[in-house]
Amino acid sequence: MLTLQVNGAAHQVDVPDDMPLLWVLRDVLGLPGTKFGCGIGECGACTVHVDGRAVRACSLPVVLVGDRPVTTIEGLADDQVATEVSKAWLEIDVVQCGYCQPGQIMAAVALLKSNLHPSDDEVDQAMAGNICRCGTYRRIRAAIRNVAGAV
Amino acid sequence: MEIGRIALSRRHALAGAGGLLLAAMLPRGPARAGTRIVEDQTGPFAPNAFVRIAPDDGITLILPNVEMGQGIYTGEAMLIAEELDVGLEQIQIEAAPPDDAYVTKLIGIQATGGSTSTIATWTSLREAGAVARTLLVRAAADRWQVDPASCQTEAGMVRHVPTGRTLSYGELAVEAAALPLPAGPVALRDPSTFRLIGHAQHRLDGPAKVDGTAVFGIDIQQPGMKIGTVAACPVMGGVLLHVDDSAARRVPGVRDVLTIGNAVCVVGDHYWAARKGLEALTITWDEGVNATVSTGTVYNQLHEALQGPAVVAHAKGDAKGAIARAAIRVEAVYQQPLLAHATMEPINCTIHVTPERCDIWVGTQVPMRARDSAAEVTGLPKEKVFLHNQYIGGGFGRRLEHEYVTQAAQFARQVSYPLKIIWSREEDLTLDRYRPAYVDRLVGGLDAHGNLVALSHRIVGPAVVARWAPEALLPNGVDDDLLLAAVETPYAIPAMFLDYARREAPGVVTAWWRGVGGTRGVFVIESFIDELAAAAKADPVAFRRRMTGDHPRARAVLDLAAEKAEWGSKLPPGGGRGVALQYVFGSYLATVMEVEMSDGGTVLVRRAVVAADCGRVVNPDQVVAQIEGGLIFGLSAALFNEVTLENGRVREKNFNTYRVLRMNESPAIEVHLIDSAEDPGGIGETGTAAAAAAAANAMAATGRRYRRLPLTGTQA
């Protein structure tokens, strides 16, 4: 039995140690906002925050999370930076199919929390791990820039 | 009707022969099985298949096409809301259930694809809204005992202008429902009075997709549900001989191991148990006849068919004679690979089969086909199979196939609980149905002044339509999808000859892929036009421009793109600039692309400037978004993607070997729309169709012509 801190609450979970955090979130804790894309940390759809840093939940065995706080897309409601990011996303209609967007937003929030005024190169570097098949990159870049300009 | 619609209009005719109903004029009355319109027993006003208004003012718009990112829920809601006279903030939207009422006329079945949605619903959905509004006005006028002409509508209310009295649509719903439908056609708004159409509206699905609450097929939860994952025979046509599941059944959380003819499904309490269980299986396949197929097999048979017989698909004038007499003769052969869809949301389907009914929660572009397939598998009548269409995490044609629903039904009928099947990314990529590989040969003749006098073109490759809609294969055996971009061009070409040698790909199933015939066609035609310009020693824009004689809309987009891209201005060393001009899906696009080639052979696309004329625009910013995204999707394929086969198995298994363009590799994109009062054209696939040609032409400008896709591949 493991205790996970997810979105500010403690959860007891009885799962195998090697089970990736992604599937604990989706299939055990009922938090499907975090998406499955590749299972090998290549696409970023499963991006969550562990201790405030963006990580790929599909490739992180749950036992390695320990007592570090986990934040998912469902846990951003009261977060100031995340609220600005959401607004920026909606303002310029970033999303298309939307499937990768929770991961994109988690990556963007983590970036902006560590660096509120990233350069274009820093944005590219931080976001290059998140694939979008619909090709919303230009708007993601613009939305991040708009947040940096607004805060 | 312009020539680009030949394919569509013919399918339209076929659809009519199949018993198509004019959806907006669907008669009310007895319950139509399978529609949710009649599931609500509160007596709502539902004058057609697209509008439902309840006494509590709940206004529901039922949208015939499925949302997979293209913004169609917003666009179609705008069409209805414009004429119904409601605000987008007043409505709720619902995915259409499987039903004849939602057949896409241009395709002939209930399907979302081929950039047809807005073309197909531009009039019908406005009529649906107008019919509803007309009845609501009449209901109000009857209650007030006044002339309907003295009433106006606004934001879900009917107002009697002389007295200022108002009634909400909800208050009128019961009375309106009792009225007969208008006898004749209803008047539609003059476009100059549009409140919504043509004015940028935020996406209706935006908030849910930003806060993570949007439910995709893969997110479905049902009481008692278990989760399965599948291994199908990795060689197409192979079958399961034997499976040893003893180790799998010992994996904690594994509940069942199910088999069908060509696949095994391990079911667990969660995906991880199922996945671990699947890895613990020892499976023996009979791989069948395709076990020796390789990529070389595929390409060789295509190239061989450049010689020998072919079916004439199009002929205008004496092309061969004109080429024989031409001052300059240009010839080129182009090759395009098999491509995977690689949607972000892996293939999945949740299905619950009971003796009485079957429920399916899935994202599908073909709801009726998916439902009918499950009915066949389960033996249940169609009206006992309920398909609940979900947000699709990327379609691109993948979900015009429904074989994964068939497969899920075959497994789910063996168990009593709701079963959610999720394919791994590896399964998704290696058991995809692929965009076919093609080889094209083009021969062109230029006169002494460098003018194109004739074009001769052979296409070799599969006919996707022969499997997907066999009745739509032309009587001479030509797949008319392959004519896109090849027969109707933005140019005045004096003589043309096009023939087609059909060669079905061994070892894979081929399918629709974003841009369908337009993507492959624009690449070869626009690459070749560039080669002709080079042979004529002409500037690529100027060469195209002087051929656009009777296509003013083509000339306008070309001029605009060239101007905005500063065509002719100097580029940094290693830079190349190319152009592509196209008319497919009823829309004109000109794309100017800039690339940067490094000594090490890497290609970076720096900038893309697009000018588009897609007729009247419904939601302008979403047209821009589709072109932006379509270009990126097309560039991934053009630069990187090729599905290869070895021993009958697909080698590209995940995003580490099937490379997708990333943010740091994606260009700056500018899209400029031309104001137009023409009927809408399609837009979802146009950017994808433009990408490879524009990139190849930009690369060619740096010194070398690339005729094989992908542009950075080993065969390029």
Tens of pLDDT, residue by residue over B682-710, are: 999 999 999 999 999 999 999 999 999 99
Domain enclosing residue B154, as ranges: 1-214
Q: Which of B391, B422, B453 is the last residue of a domain?
A: B422
pLDDT at A149: 79
The tokens of B210 are what?
Answer: 């930003």
pLDDT at B35: 27
Residues B300, B352, single domain; the answer is no
Residues A44, A89, single domain; the answer is no
B226 touches chain A (CB under 8 A): no
CB–CB of B629 and A98 under 8 A? no
Residues A88, A129, single domain; the answer is yes
Residues A87, A129, single domain; the answer is yes
Confidence at B337, pLDDT banded by 50, 70, 90 = very high
Residues B510, B571, single domain; the answer is yes
Residues B194, B229, single domain; the answer is no
Is residue B518 within 8 A of residue B477, CB to CB? The reply is no
CB–CB of A95 and B205 under 8 A? yes
Domain enclosing residue A21, as ranges: 2-75
Q: Which of B214, B234, B250 is the last residue of a domain?
A: B214
pLDDT at B599: 81
Determine which of A134, A141, A144 to mutate to test the interface with B (most B C-beta atoms within 10 Å): A134
Q: Which of A26, A49, A75 is the last residue of a domain?
A: A75
Rounded distance, CA B258 to CA B415, Å?
Answer: 9
Across residues B208-215, what is the average pLDDT?
96
CB–CB of A43 and B203 under 8 A? no
pLDDT at B696: 98
Rounded distance, CA B641 to CA B657, Å?
Answer: 9
Rounded to 10 deg, the angle between the B686-700 and B516-535 helix axes is 30
Residues A125, A142, single domain; the answer is yes
Chain B neighbours among A 18-57 (CB < 8 Å)?
19-20, 23, 26-28, 30, 32-40, 42-43, 45
pLDDT at B28: 30
CB–CB of A16 and B629 under 8 A? no
Q: Which residue of B has its CA nearest to A86?
A: B210
Q: Which of A75, A109, A138 is the last residue of a domain?
A: A75
Residues of chain A in contact with residue B666, where contact means CB-CB under 8 angstroms, are: 135, 137-138
CB–CB of A101 and B210 under 8 A? yes
Q: What is the 3-state secondary structure (H, E, C) of A14-63?
A: CCCCCCEHHHHHHHHCCCCCCCCCCCCCCCCCCEEEECCEEEEHHHCEHH
Confidence at B30, pLDDT banded by 50, 70, 90 = very low
Give DSSP secondary structure letters for B260-314: ETTEEEEEESSHHHHHHHHHT-EEEEE-GGGTT--HHHHHHHHHHTTSS--EEEE
pLDDT at B635 over 90: yes
- Number of helical (H) and strand (E) elements in chain B, helices listed first: 19, 27
Across residues B565-573, what is the average pLDDT?
96
Tens of pLDDT, residue by residue over A58-91, are: 999 999 999 999 999 999 999 999 999 999 999 9
Task: Say if residue B630 is exposed, middle or buried (CB neighbours under 10 Å; 0-12, 13-18, 19+).
Answer: buried
Tens of pLDDT, residue by residue over B66-123, are: 999 999 999 999 999 999 999 999 999 999 999 999 998 888 899 999 999 999 999 9
What is the value of ipTM here, to two decimals? Answer: 0.98
Question: What's the CATH code of the domain at B231?
Answer: 3.30.365.10
Across residues B470-491, what is the average pLDDT?
96
Contacts of B678 (CB under 8 A, 6+ apart): B553, B613, B615, B616
Rounded distance, CA B76 to CA B61, Å?
Answer: 9
- The domain tally of chain A equals 2
pLDDT at B106: 85
Is residue A11 within 8 A of residue A69, CB to CB? The reply is no
Question: What's the CATH code of the domain at A84?
Answer: 1.10.150.120
The tokens of A137 are what?
Answer: 């990159």
pLDDT at B44: 80
Residues B189, B248, single domain; the answer is no
Tens of pLDDT, residue by residue over B230-261, are: 999 999 999 999 999 999 999 999 999 999 99
Residues of chain B in contact with residue A38, where contact means CB-CB under 8 angstroms, are: 425, 654-655
Handedness of CA B686, B688, B692, B698 (dihedral sign): positive
Tell me how long chain B is. Answer: 716
CA distance A102 to chain B (A): 6
CA distance B619 to chain A (A): 12
Handedness of CA B5, B6, B7, B13 (dihedral sign): positive
Residues B516, B633, single domain; the answer is yes
CB–CB of B661 and A135 under 8 A? yes
Pick from A27, A43, A123: which is nearest to B271 by CB?
A: A27
pLDDT at B23 over 60: no
Average pLDDT, chain B: 93
Contacts of B375 (CB under 8 A, 6+ apart): B358, B381, B382, B384, B385
Residues A30, A54, single domain; the answer is yes
Residues A23, A52, single domain; the answer is yes
CB–CB of B342 and A140 under 8 A? no
pLDDT at A151: 66
Chain A neighbours among B 57-76 (CB < 8 Å)?
68-71
CB–CB of B656 and A72 under 8 A? no
Residues B198, B231, single domain; the answer is no
pLDDT at A64: 98
CA-CA-CA-CA dihedral for B618, B624, B630, B633, to nearest 10: -140
pLDDT at B8: 31
- The domain tally of chain B equals 3
Confidence at B174, pLDDT banded by 50, 70, 90 = very high
Residues B664, B567, single domain; the answer is yes
Q: Which residue of B has its CA nearest to A131?
A: B662
pLDDT at B43: 53
CA distance A128 to chain B (A): 5
The tokens of B194 are what?
Answer: 């549009």
Residues of chain B in contact with residue A16, where contact means CB-CB under 8 angstroms, are: 252-253, 272-273, 276
Rounded distance, CA B21 to CA B4, Å?
Answer: 25
CA-to-CA dists, residue B647 to B234, B242, B323, B341, B506, angstroms:
10, 20, 43, 22, 12
Residues B159, B252, single domain; the answer is no
Across residues B381-404, what is the average pLDDT?
97
Rounded distance, CA B409 to CA B404, Å?
Answer: 9
Residues of chain A with pLDDT under 70: 151
Is residue B137 within 8 A of residue B151, CB to CB? The reply is yes
Residues A84, A142, single domain; the answer is yes
CA-to-CA dists, residue A130 to A73, A83, A144, B420, B695, angstroms:
15, 20, 14, 26, 23
pLDDT at A148: 87
Residues A62, A109, single domain; the answer is no
Residues of chain A in contact with residue B69, where contact means CB-CB under 8 angstroms, are: 95-98, 134
Of the candidates B390, B398, B389, the residue with the CA atom closest to the CA atom of residue B343: B398
Confidence at B24, pLDDT banded by 50, 70, 90 = very low
Tens of pLDDT, residue by residue over B434-478, are: 999 999 999 999 999 999 999 999 999 999 999 999 999 999 999
Residue written as tokens 């509590």?
A: B56
Residues of chain B in contact with residue A141, where contact means CB-CB under 8 angstroms, are: 663
Residues A45, A69, single domain; the answer is yes
pLDDT at B27 over 90: no
